[in-house]
Amino acid sequence: MIKTRPLSFPKKFHWGFAAAAAQIEGAAFEDNKGPSIWDVFPTIPGKVHNGDSPEVACDHYHRYKQDIALMAKLGAKNYRLSVSWPRIFPSGRGPVNPKGIDFYNRLIDTCLAKGITPWVTMFHWDLPQALEDEFGGWRDRRTVDAFATYADTIVQAFGDRVKNWITLNEIYCFIHQGYADGTKAPGHKLPAKVVNQAYHHALLAHGHGVRAVREHGGRGARVGLTDNCVPMIPVTETPGDIAASQRAFIERNVRVLDPIYRGGYTATYRKIVGKDAAKFQKDDFKLISLPTDFLGLNTYTGEFVRAGKGGKPEILAKPRSYPAADATWLAHASQAMYWCPRHVAEIYGVKSVVITENGAGYDDVPDAKGEIMDLHRRDYVRCCLRELHRAIGDGVPVDGYFLWSFMDNYEWQDGYRIRFGVVYNDYATQKRTPKLSAQWFSKVMDENRIV
């Protein structure tokens, strides 16, 4: 007899959706919110597709009640949201904006009333423009001081109800792409030494986020970083290629994971970064390497590695027709979802991994009946979940999965062209329509298994 074995997840597995303030809220200049670097970046010609700005986005600032209601209807028990720093401190520091605090109080209370646990990211890229203007943003240590105050403020304000905190979202993206290749705000192309110093400041901010939660988070508060370390997938699952993939993983992600999990700039860091290494002060690594409760991974794609001469890792180029999403960086390498959690557990001893983002971006178009048959997104996410299930089965400690994203939103330099939502957003009317993938994912969450 042929029988389907259920691909079930552990009992207390956390399923949910993820989003970020600047990508959905809109109301960019309302209720005293200060401008963020992402309000300014689209005004620089050629930086953002179509010059799209996050000024209105999904107008979630005004529609949060219906959005959270829809999220609850789809069965989500967890929601990863972010707080907009310039809504709380319009100039990055100085006086607090009470209207900003009010908004997140309303949002958090709405989530809780609907049985949804909020997971709050302190910083998801929307740096107050004032800090860029005054200090040069993350290039300057004074931005770290401002972040420390901001972190203290929001943990004190929301910590009675928020028990799951994420310090920063993807240091690589907002530092490397913001200051080295210039593809994201603030859009600079600076020398490696400056960039590595900016990395160091981001690491310090992470440390302050952890410290703030420990000092003010109250009982049961948990905190972690969300990283998008580059997953390294062994071409064959044999000891040689696996070892090569581990080595490649350490080397590629050395700027973030070594200081946090190995307590300093290791020999590997110094070898790779060389004379451009960041300057640090005596106690910096005490803060940076404070123990955390979980590591958030944003896993979308990965690199394939094989062992070359003497076991040396060789990262393989992907052929032109390797399958990918419309977001062209997103090659469909679902095995990343097995290997990335496994590598961080095996290499750095991470005891709890939470997938804080996974998904795929396409240019969805409603059909004649108004339905959105996003079989491509559903299939890719399903493949990723199978790999995650396999990882858990092999003993990798994975405790949650957040789908990026709840609804279509402002996709940074790709503007509104690329859609990552499982709920379609018609930007002209702000009408939300669940896609096929939303209905499917709703069942996954409900049955706690891959359906």
According to the binding rule CB under 6 A, does residue 299 interact with ligand PNW?
no
CB of 136 to ligand PNW, least distance (A): 23
Three-class secondary structure assignment of 205-263: HHHHHHHHHHHHCCCCCEEEEEECCCCEEECCCCHHHHHHHHHHHHHHCHHHHHHHHHC
Closer residue to ligand PNW in complex, CB, 218/415 = 415
Give the dihedral sign, CA 409/413/415/419. negative
- Mutual angle of helices 141-158 and 192-216, in 10-degree steps: 30
Window of 262-270, 283-291, 298-306, 340-348 that interacts with ligand PNW by CB under 6 A: 298-306
Closer residue to ligand PNW in complex, CB, 20/203 = 20
In the list 110, 196, 228, 425, the residue contacting ligand PNW (rule: CB under 6 A) is: 228
Closer residue to ligand PNW in complex, CB, 25/170 = 170
Distance CA 170, CA 150 (A): 18
- Asked if 386 and 7 count as a contact pair (C-beta separation under 8 A), the reply is yes
CB of 301 to ligand PNW, least distance (A): 6
According to the binding rule CB under 6 A, does residue 404 interact with ligand PNW?
yes
Distance CA 342, CA 338 (A): 6
Tell me 279's DSSP state.
P
- Asked if 438 and 74 count as a contact pair (C-beta separation under 8 A), the reply is yes
Distance CA 438, CA 375 (A): 11
- Going from the C-alpha of 284 to that of each of 169, 198, 293, 391, the distances in angstroms are 20, 14, 20, 34
CB of 440 to ligand PNW, least distance (A): 20
Contacts to ligand PNW from residues 307-366, by CB under 6 A: 329, 357
Q: Is there a catalytic annotation at residue 170? A: yes
Residue type, position 244, single letter: A
CB of 68 to ligand PNW, least distance (A): 19
Which pair of tokens denotes residue 161? 């109800």
Lookup result for tokens 């451009």: 276
Residues 137-176, mask of contacts with ligand PNW (x by CB under 6 A): --------------------------------xx--x---
Number of residues that bind ligand PNW (CB under 6 A): 14
CB of 330 to ligand PNW, least distance (A): 7
Q: Which of 25, 132, 303, 357 is catalytic?
A: 357
Closer residue to ligand PNW in complex, CB, 22/278 = 22
Phi, psi of 252 (to 5 degrees): -70, -30
Q: Is there a catalytic annotation at residue 447? A: no
- Asked if 405 and 19 count as a contact pair (C-beta separation under 8 A), the reply is yes
CA atoms within 13 A on the CB side of 57: 28
Window of 50-58, 148-156, 297-305, 333-341 that interacts with ligand PNW by CB under 6 A: 297-305
CB of 126 to ligand PNW, least distance (A): 10
Closer residue to ligand PNW in complex, CB, 169/335 = 169
Closer residue to ligand PNW in complex, CB, 228/292 = 228
Which active-site residues does the annotation give? 170, 357
Q: Can you give the binding site for ligand PNW, defined by CB under 6 A?
A: 20, 23, 169-170, 173, 228, 298, 300-301, 329, 357, 404, 411, 420
